[in-house]
A = this chain, B = another copy of it.
Amino acid sequence: MFLSKLDSLDNALKLIDDNQQLMDVEEIPLDKAHKRVLAEDIIAYHNSPPFDKSAMDGFALKGESTFGASQSQPKTLKIVDAIGAGDFCDKTINEGEAIVIATGAPVPDGADAVLMKEYTTTDGDELTIYSQVTPGENVSPKAEDIKKGDQILSKDTFIRYQEMGLIASAGYDSVKVYKKPNVKLIITGNELVEPTKEEIDKAKIINSNQYTIKAMVEDAGANISISHAGDTFDEVRQEVLKASEEYDVIMTTGGTAISKGDVVLDVVDDLGEILFHGVSIRPGKPIGAGIINGKMIFTFSGQPVAAMSQFDIFARKFLFNMQGRDFDFHIVKRQAQLKIPSQLGRTDFIRAFSDDESARHILNRGSGIIRSMVEANSYIIIDENDEGYQKGDIVDVVFFNSLLW
């Protein structure tokens, strides 16, 4: 009877953390690396730009040659060549000379600035300029973005779109990243049936957890495979054992309460080690975790809302960390719109709708009421040392969208 020996949230989280694992490394093509985590430092193979690059279309010249030019006092220079992007010019530009240059083309020796085309007129090789530029203007200096040999990104960096561009510029067409964890989700429960528009057999309930948890696992950057097991020890044991041999992480739903004899926890105990079972939180108290064949197993409730919260509180961070990515709740402060009671000694994760200023908890929030999660966009977290809040108090809020990979 776990109720008499509930773990504190901190203790349960520490037990998971003590058993944190890290995925192996794989090398993948760069164009598949978006939203993966680097498993190597990125050292630049090239300067970027690789040369003094024109940032404008116009005329490369010595800035000095333009000094004093204006609309009323134009100056005249001589056009000595033209370079498009991808071409180069090996001439050296002297005082009084200019070459036509495209954005992206290398500024030739001698030139130190680019005058934009709109401030000029041309007549054959005669260039009339109506404006001056200072040396360096409209030129992206060689290596201003990346210097060859520099470490530009470090191991464990999450690859957003901007990192994709930087890694490409550094010369990498493939990168080492942490593998995605393969998660096996085992749904237990004799009462569960697939979604259908037809009449459902008496005493049966549609299985929604497989949909929510699959989506949550995907949101945490991992792969998932799902199977089902009846409520018997043997069926669950067989599925869990197989999963522990073939997958990186195991998750189960259902069968964690007591009258069924804690089927799932009995299996964990039989095949491996229970880390904890029963944590002083609401919702989600019957959560368990263990280690089987060196693999972490999370045993979630069958109640949909409890299962979602248990995933958020315990499994998400584990999956992130497996992939080399830091994760902690990003807690922000909001003003409570309503009074919220809580119980000393228990940490509450209260579904709430929050905006930039305030947080209002969803009133109808039994642990089976999925609609309460749909109406919510955040948790109000009430620490085990707090007995709740009055209307107007400042509370800790975590937005759901801050939980995403």
A residues sitting closer than 8 Å to B (CB atoms) are 1, 3-4, 30-31, 34-35, 45-46, 48-51, 53, 55-58, 83-88, 100-106, 117-118, 140, 144-146, 152-153, 160-173, 189-192, 194-197, 200, 202-216, 218-219, 231, 254, 257-260, 302-304, 308, 332, 356, 364, 366-371, 373-374, 376, 400-402, 404
Asked whether, in the complex, the Cβ of A85 is within 8 Å of the Cβ of B190, the reply is: yes
Q: Are A205 and B50 in contact (CB under 8 A)?
A: yes
**Residue pair B374, A195 in contact (C-beta under 8 Å):** no
A-B interface, 8 closest residue pairs, ranked by CB to CB distance from nearest: A57-B259, A86-B190, A161-B215, A86-B191, A162-B373, A88-B203, A165-B208, A165-B212
> What are 17 A-B contacts with C-beta separation under 8 Å?
A50-B200, A51-B202, A55-B367, A84-B260, A86-B192, A88-B202, A102-B257, A103-B260, A105-B203, A117-B259, A140-B366, A145-B366, A153-B374, A161-B212, A162-B373, A162-B374, A171-B206
A376 to B303, CA, bound (A): 41
Does A259 contact B31, Cβ atoms closer than 8 Å? no
Query: Which of B164, B213, B219, B259 contacts A215, CB < 8 Å?
Result: B164
**Closest beta carbon of chain B to A354's beta carbon, Å:** 13
Asked if A368 and B53 sit within 8 Å, CB to CB, the answer is yes
Number of copies: 2
Q: Which residue of B lies closest to A209 (CB)?
A: B165
The verdict on A49 contacting B368 (CB below 8 Å), with A168-B207, A195-B173 known, is yes
Task: Tell whether, in the assembled complex, residue A231 and residue B84 are in contact, meaning their CB atoms are under 8 Å apart.
Answer: yes
B144 and A369 contact, CB distance less than 8 A = yes
Give Cα distance in the complex from A162 to B401, angstroms.
12
Closest to A106 in B: B203
Q: Which of B144, B190, B303, B374 is in CB contact (< 8 Å) with A163? A: B374
The answer to whether B257 and A191 have CB atoms under 8 Å apart is: no
* A203 B260 Cβ-Cβ under 8 A: no
User: Given contacts A190-B86, A197-B171, A257-B56, is CB(A368)–CB(B144) below 8 Å?
Assistant: yes
Report A265 CB to chain B, min CB distance, Å. Answer: 13
- Minimum Cβ distance to chain B for residue A308 (Å): 7
Given A118-B258, A168-B211, A260-B84, A104:B189 Cβ within 8 A: yes
Known: A31-B214, A117-B259, A191-B105. A162 touches B308 (CB 8 A): yes
Q: Which of B190, B260, B366 contacts A87 (CB 8 A)?
A: B190
CB distance from A342 to the nearest CB of B (A): 19
Chain B residues whose CB sits within 8 angstroms of the CB of A100 once the complex forms: 259
| Distance in angstroms between the alpha carbons of A210 and B191 in the assembled complex | 50
Question: Which single member of B162, B206, B376 contacts A48 (CB below 8 Å)?
Answer: B206
Inter-subunit contact B204/A86 (CB<8 Å): yes
Residues of B within 8 A of A402 (CB): 401
Selected contact of A85 from candidates B152, B215, B231, B366, CB within 8 Å: B231
Question: Hey, which chain B residues are within 8 Å of A332, CB to CB?
Answer: 356
From known contacts A140-B366, A169-B208, infer whether A400 and B160 are also in contact, taking CB-CB under 8 Å: yes
A45 proximity list for chain B (CB < 8 A): 196-197
Complex contact A164–B104 (CB within 8 A)? no
A58-B259, A370-B165 known; A197+B211 contact, CB < 8 A: no
A145 interface neighbour in B161, B165, B215, B370, Cβ under 8 Å: B370
Given A46-B200, A57-B260, A118-B258 in contact, is the A160-B215 Cβ separation under 8 Å?
A: yes
Contacts of A206 in B (CB 8 A): 46, 48, 168-169, 171
Among the interface residues A167, A260, A374, which one has the most CB atoms of the partner chain B within 10 A? Answer: A374
Report the nearest B residue to A1, measured CB to CB.
B118
* Distance, CA A177 to CA B56, complexed state (A): 44
Which chain B residue shows the least CB distance to A404?
Answer: B404
Chain B: minimal CB distance from A161 (Å): 4
Residues of chain B lying within 8 A (CB to CB) of residue A257: 56-57, 102-103
